[in-house]
């Protein structure tokens, strides 16, 4: 439960139609298994105590009494096994002379509530109106075994004292398929988890539609959704049930049960993440906007450590599937190039000036600029690729910069800045043998001055090359490579830059261009501001600032979901086990936090540039952060790790 995680289960037992005692035994056995696996919310299928396919047997008083007796038995059982999971079991139940399809909510030997099915289908293969009455919304008292509980759909189970923000709403099968589903009202009254007890039969393609429905419902409600469906054991007289269990969080399917395999489906929901998304989405209406009077039932549960089942992608900005990754790369390149195209169409400029170093970022920026010029039907020779060798430039990167310009058909210009920087050192009395930050930044600022002045000469624009990861860390020289007239890479993290260049190499169709791009990809990331050793790069960025895959991981979960340092550290350990040890993760997380806060002043005056994903650092968009915000709160937690 720490960090907002809670383990949940959808459990489909193999039942016998119209045999409540047998079914109760199956349910209790599954409760034990799910609780042993750490589940604290357990959902069973619709009418699982009797079977959904009883048809006119639902009108038999003997069956209804047996179902009530077995529910009481299950309730007593949960009071003896020492666990305190909240359990939902489906059964038929008579109230005031009418029969209802209900979900019984049970915990630790107590019946908590009875939630009836509101929407009763009578179409196609469904004929429930023959037996059941639509459920009432406003809860009324109902007594079972001398315990009086609320009976109605407008009931929420509140576990806020155990997991902050955890409130559970319940609906049954058809309820989620209708236009005015109960889950809408549940969510608007604070439910962060919706459970659905279902008996949805299988037809060709229905499983795909069902997953789309549950995922889209979860996304729209910004909620966790536990869907549990009937499976083997139901009558197959006319229809077949597949036990299609689905657990979703804010539109992302965390776990699903393979069709026609009854069993327990487990996942861990992140309630803190759901709460963060609701805070962020200002259009999500609060309960104060609603006028219904919900029954809120406060519950308690033992706090315990949730052993995480979910996998956190080590590179959250990069799809793991090759086809999805290719689609993502094409889409991002289009966003970048169309953004630049619009800027050129608006300004009427015909020339682009871009510094090319032979590194990944400037390569990507040049490729994007070429795309934009092609879209505008402007000649590529209007793109001036400027190489500016200095003290740290190696033959390899210089050669690649030149080859790249030549194979793309852009104008190549060389401006050797060694003499200009040396004179500047003399003017400011900088010791040329002292390789400090001034030594490095003088070169970066001289390069920017050259680019800006060339742009003035050619009535063009300087295209920025810095990426989002560098901006997050402040790994840019203020008023140096930090500045441009349009930063095409501003929304692209470093881990994704590599894949964009690789995608371009794979799809360009030109052997010479592919060859140089592959060598750029194979070159260590470096600003090349320190003299090389034996002709090789001596200054490797990741040796100084840390692994970009870790920093992009930290950046994603901090900005996208508001995770605390402790939670980021926890999931990073879980994700990078065997790749980075705890000390390494801890070290770079502290550095990330420190740099992220200290370097906001650079992000506060960024040039324009396109947003490409759900995380961005533009001061005009996603990250409106004060430049003098204190990092104390975050660093204090990081120091305790």
The predicted-structure confidence for 145-200, as pLDDT tens digits, reads as follows 988 999 999 999 999 999 999 999 999 999 999 999 999 999 999 999 999 999 99
pLDDT of residue 288: 54
Q: What is the pLDDT of residue 629?
A: 96
- State which CATH number among 3.40.50.20, 3.60.110.10, 3.30.930.10, 3.90.79.10 fits the domain covering 2-298: 3.60.110.10
Q: Give me the pLDDT at residue 594, please.
A: 97
Count of CB atoms within 10 A of residue 19's CB?
18
What percent of the chain lies above the pLDDT cut of 70? 99
Angle between helices 20-36 and 61-80 (to 10 degrees): 30
Beta-bridged to residue 168, according to DSSP, are 157, 193
Domain with CATH 3.60.110.10 in the chain: 2-298
Choice among 7, 68, 117, 118 that is catalytic? 117
Q: Rounded to an integer, what distance in angstroms lies between the CA atom of residue 333 and that of residue 489?
A: 10
**Which CATH number does 322-639 carry?**
3.40.50.620
- Residue that the structure tokens 């400029």 belong to: 349
- The tokens describing 202, both together, are 């299988």
Give the distance from CA 359 to its chain's centroid: 30
SS (H, E, C) 542-560: HHHHCCHHHHHHHHHHHHC
Helix/strand/coil for 473: helix
Catalytic residue from among 7, 35, 46, 341: 46
Residue the block writes with tokens 């155990």: 162
Query: What pLDDT, on a 0 to 100 scale, did the predictor assign at position 292?
Result: 65
The pLDDT of residue 287: 63
Strands (E), 262-356: 264-270, 295-298, 352-355
Q: Catalytic residue at 110?
A: no
C-alpha distances (whole Å) from 572 to each of 266, 314, 549, 551, 593 are 22, 8, 11, 11, 15
Helix (H) or strand (E) holding 541: helix 541-545
Which segments of the chain have a pLDDT < 50?
none
Is 173 catalytic? The answer is: yes
Q: Rounded to an integer, what distance in angstroms lies between the CA atom of residue 265 and that of residue 244?
A: 10
C-alpha span between 216 and 227 (Å, rounded):
13
- Active-site annotation holder among 48, 54, 170, 173: 173
Residue 526's pLDDT is 79
Residue in the block written with tokens 């390069």:
447
- CATH 3.40.50.620 residue ranges of the chain are 322-639
Q: How far apart are CA 326 and CA 502, in angstroms?
A: 10
C-beta of residue 398 within 8 angstroms of C-beta of residue 358: yes
Is 46 a catalytic site residue?
yes
Identify how many contiguous H helices and E strands the chain contains and give both numbers.
19, 20
User: How many residues are present in the chain?
Assistant: 641
In terms of C-beta density within 10 A (0-12 exposed, 13-18 middle, 19 or more buried), how is residue 204 classed?
exposed
- List strand residue ranges (DSSP E) for 126-215, in order: 140-144, 147-151, 155-158, 167-172, 193-198
Q: How far is CA 254 from CA 86, 251, 303, 488, in A?
A: 20, 9, 23, 34
Element holding 486 (H helix, E strand)? strand 486-487
Two structure tokens written together for 628: 């003098």
Q: What is the strand order of the sheet 98-107 is part of?
A: 140-144, 147-151, 110-116, 98-107, 86-95, 41-43, 5-11, 264-270
């Amino acid at each position: 439960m720490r960090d907002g995680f809670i383990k949940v289960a959808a459990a489909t037992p193999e039942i016998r139609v119209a045999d409540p005692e047998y079914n109760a035994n199956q349910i209790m056995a599954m409760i034990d298994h799910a609780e042993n696996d750490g589940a604290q919310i357990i959902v069973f299928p619709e009418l699982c105590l009797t079977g959904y396919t009883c048809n006119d047997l639902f009108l038999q008083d003997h069956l209804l009494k047996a179902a009530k007796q077995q529910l009481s038995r299950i309730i007593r059982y949960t009071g003896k096994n020492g666990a305190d999971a909240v359990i939902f079991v489906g059964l038929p139940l008579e109230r005031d002379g009418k029969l209802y399809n209900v979900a019984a909510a049970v915990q630790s030997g107590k019946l908590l509530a009875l939630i009836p099915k509101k929407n009763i289908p009578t179409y196609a293969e469904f004929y429930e109106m023959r037996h059941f009455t639509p459920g009432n919304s406003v809860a009324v008292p109902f007594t079972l075994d001398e315990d009086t509980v609320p009976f109605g759909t407008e009931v929420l189970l509140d576990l806020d004292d155990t997991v902050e923000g955890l409130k559970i709403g319940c609906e049954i099968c058809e309820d989620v398929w209708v236009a005015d589903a109960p889950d809408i009202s549940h969510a608007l009254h604070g439910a962060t988890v919706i459970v659905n007890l279902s008996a949805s039969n299988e037809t060709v393609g229905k499983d795909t539609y069902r997953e789309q429905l549950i995922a889209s419902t979860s996304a729209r409600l910004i909620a966790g959704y536990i869907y549990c469906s009937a499976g083997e054991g139901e009558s197959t007289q006319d229809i077949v049930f597949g036990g299609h269990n689905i657990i979703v969080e804010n539109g992302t399917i965390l776990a699903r049960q393979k069709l026609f395999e009854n069993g327990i489906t487990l996942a861990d929901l992140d309630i803190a993440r759901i709460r963060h998304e609701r805070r962020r989405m200002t259009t999500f209406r609060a309960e104060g906007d609603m006028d219904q009077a919900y029954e809120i039932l406060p519950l308690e549960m033992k706090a315990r450590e949730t052993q995480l089942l979910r996998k956190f992608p080590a590179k959250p900005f990069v799809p793991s599937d090759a086809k999805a990754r290719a689609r993502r790369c094409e889409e991002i390149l289009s966003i970048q190039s169309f953004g630049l195209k619009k800027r050129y169409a608006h300004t009427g400029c015909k020339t682009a000036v871009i510094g090319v170093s032979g590194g990944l970022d400037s390569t990507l920026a040049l490729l994007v600029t070429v795309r934009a010029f092609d879209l505008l039907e402007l000649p590529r020779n209007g793109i001036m690729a400027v190489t500016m060798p200095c003290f740290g430039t190696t033959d390899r990167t210089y050669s690649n910069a030149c080859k790249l310009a030549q194979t793309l058909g852009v104008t190549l210009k060389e401006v050797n800045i060694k003499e200009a920087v040396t004179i500047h050192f003399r003017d400011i009395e900088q010791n040329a043998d002292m390789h400090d930050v001034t030594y490095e930044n003088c070169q970066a600022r001289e390069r920017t001055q050259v680019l800006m002045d060339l742009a003035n000469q050619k009535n063009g624009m300087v295209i920025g090359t810095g990426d989002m990861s560098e901006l997050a860390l402040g790994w840019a020289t203020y008023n140096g490579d930090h500045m441009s007239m349009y930063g095409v890479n501003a929304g692209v993290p470093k881990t994704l830059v590599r894949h964009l260049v690789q995608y371009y190499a794979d799809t360009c169709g030109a052997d010479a261009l592919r060859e140089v791009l592959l060598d750029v990809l194979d070159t260590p990331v470096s600003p090349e501001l320190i003299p090389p050793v034996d002709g090789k790069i001596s200054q490797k960025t990741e040796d100084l600032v840390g692994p970009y895959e870790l920093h992009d991981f930290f950046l994603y979960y901090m900005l996208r979901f508001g995770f605390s340092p402790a939670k980021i550290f926890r999931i990073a350990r879980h994700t990078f086990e065997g790749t980075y040890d705890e000390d390494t993760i801890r070290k770079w997380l502290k550095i990330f936090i420190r740099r992220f806060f200290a370097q906001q002043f650079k992000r506060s005056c960024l040039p324009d540039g396109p947003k490409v994903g759900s995380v961005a650092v533009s001061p005009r968009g996603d990250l409106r952060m004060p430049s003098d915000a204190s990092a104390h709160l975050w660093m204090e937690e990081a120091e305790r790790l």
